[in-house]
Amino acid sequence: MSSIETKPVLIAGAGPAGLIAALSLTKFGVPVRIVEKLPAFHTATRGTGTQPRSLEIYRFLGLLDDYLRVAKPLPTMRSYKLPGGIEPLKTWKVVEHPTPTPDRPLVGESRVVLGQYRLEGIFRDHLAKHGVSIELSTELVYFEQDVEGVTVTLKKNHVEEQARVAYVIGADGARGVTRKLMGATFEGQTREEDGHVWADVELEGLSPEFWHVWSEPGRFTVTIRATGDQDGHFHVGIIGKNFDPGYLTDEEKFVNFIYENTGRRDLQFKKFTSMNYWKPKMRMVNRLHSGRAFIVGDAAHIHSPTGGQGLNTSIQDSFNLAWKLALVHKGLASPELLASFEAERLPVIAEMLATTTALYEHAVADKRHDQSKEQVAADMLGPMFLQWRNTSLSQLDINYRWSPIVFEALGNGGLDDAALKARAYIGYPGQPVHAGDRAPDAPELVDEMGQTTQLHEIFQPTLHTFLLFLPETSRHDEEQVDSIIQTVRTLPEATFQIILVGRDNVSRSPDGTTAYKDTEGYAFGAYHVEGEQATVVAVRPDGYVGAFVYDAAGLRRYFSRIFLIA
């Protein structure tokens, strides 16, 4: 067994969660080593839907333009009458995109479909720009922790090596070893009576314009959707309810099932490029963190694909963890900060899992024993079958108001932690922004050079952004403003930026600050800033409001929860 020196943070698993963790840490200047046990990158479509919050994360990390260049709109659903399988029964949209608003500009983005393997390729390309590559055929098999670091055992081509690292991030999936070595357990259920088979197939005979659906209530749903990668390439699924289609992983049996149960023998299946089978599992771990080890993504939560939450939730795990780990690794924050990763993410995952489990019940139309054929057809025309109208699915209302590291000067209206956690996923639509909420966007900000920008272009994934909202320049207390600015400057160098926001032209922009005029009032409106008192909003590197305060004393209370300050 050889021993080599390695990077400070080891990431096991090169799926979306592992890649976002690696990219986020790399942008902080934290060196990483990312390993993947597979011998080659997969080419399966898998998770394809992207939620608005993920698009925002891609913007923060500089990935959004590359994503939108290749992503496709979500096609319209079309179900067909059985038997026969040709006559349309219903045409609808699985998701209704709301009208974008200044504070949520990406909710109306239609380009939200991209195969996971192509998405991972974008992530890898950006990592490569930082000199980071993935070590294939390399598996984490064991680790031991002590107060100074982690000794990991890796296996590559049947040869073991030991390495010394500062931290381990397990993005190694539900069957990975990190969760087990941490002592975390999966809790939840497996639908033993159900099963899914999914395949990427080249076929002829269907328009790529629609997401095609054939369903026999109480038994199965067949879905066929163009991947958008190449003409004639489709993602095909057989979803069994009270029916396990595991034997259909044989290509001939897979095709014959579709022919016999949809009646669409006109479809010409040319070539299979991937095939996978799994049982629906709705499970999550009891912990995300143990000492210097963490788990993210499928290693921490698995569920049905209904609602398109899995991949999106996974990358948010990593984005939440990375900035905290970077500050601790650099000695700028106490290791106690790392406990907030679990404190913040577990309640969100629990609520998300409950939502996707409820949606799963409508992935196959129900059939009661006393239903007529006409009643069955009516159910398939109803509002529940493969229609996702829950606005929480956008993930823009996810919040951490109960978090031990956020500070809201005005409090949370008397709600205790249990009440706050119950709204971790659904949030507080229509209510003013609080500490712990997603930081809203705001356009039409004009700088001192006359250039126009928006808040989500100003926020940085490696910095705390302190938005200092000023009342009319002739009325605000300059001594108070100076005190706030000087207090922020007590933070470690290169960990923050100070942004002054005024309703009119800011009279001066002190050194080390940048001033913007809120020409249309979008920023003041999004953050519900009123009155004649200066207001400070601390926006964390992950784009969440860390603090909502009004003076230097409030800032210092927030700093004490995040930074080590002499």
pLDDT value at 488 more than 80: yes
Q: Which of 279, 294, 315 is the last residue of a domain?
A: 279
Domain for residue 437, yes or no? yes
Q: Are residues 129 and 47 in the same domain?
A: yes
Quote the pLDDT of residue 499.
97
pTM: predicted TM-score of the whole model, two decimal places: 0.93
Domain for residue 130, yes or no? yes
Q: Are residues 261 and 139 in the same domain?
A: no
Please indicate whether residue 366 or residue 305 has the higher confidence score (pLDDT).
305
Quote the pLDDT of residue 366.
62
| 317, amino acid identity | D
Q: Are residues 228 and 204 in the same domain?
A: yes
**CATH assignment of the domain containing 167:** 3.50.50.60
**Cα separation, 555 vs 324, whole angstroms:** 18
Q: What is the DSSP code string of 67-130? A: HHHH-EEPPEEEEE-TTTS-SEEEEE-SBPPPPPBTTBGGGG--EEE--HHHHHHHHHHHHHHT
Quote the pLDDT of residue 217.
86
Range of the domain at 55: 2-72+111-188+282-358
Q: Are residues 136 and 253 in the same domain?
A: no
Give SS3 for 235.
strand
Domain for residue 426, yes or no? yes
**CATH assignment of the domain containing 233:** 3.30.9.10
Quote the pLDDT of residue 379.
53
Q: Which of 292, 325, 358 is the last residue of a domain?
A: 358
Quote the pLDDT of residue 141.
97
pLDDT value at 6 more than 50: no
Domain for residue 96, yes or no? yes
Neighbouring residues of 450: CB distance < 8 A, sequence distance ≥ 6: none
**114-169 tens-digit pLDDT:** 999 999 999 999 999 999 999 999 999 999 999 999 999 999 988 999 999 999 99
pLDDT value at 3 more than 50: no
Q: Are residues 171 and 302 in the same domain?
A: yes
Q: Mean pLDDT throughout 387-400? A: 85
pLDDT value at 375 more than 90: no
Domain for residue 80, yes or no? yes
Q: Are residues 17 and 98 in the same domain?
A: no
| 422, amino acid identity | A
Q: Are residues 462 and 520 in the same domain?
A: yes
Quote the pLDDT of residue 168.
98
Domain for residue 375, yes or no? no
Domain count, the chain: 3
Neighbouring residues of 122: CB distance < 8 A, sequence distance ≥ 6: 63, 66, 67, 70
pLDDT value at 387 more than 70: no
**62-91 tens-digit pLDDT:** 999 999 999 999 999 999 999 899 999 999
Distance of CA 168 to the CA centre of its chain: 20
Q: Mean pLDDT throughout 274-296? A: 94
Q: Are residues 105 and 154 in the same domain?
A: no
**What six digits make up the tokens of 293?**
């080890």
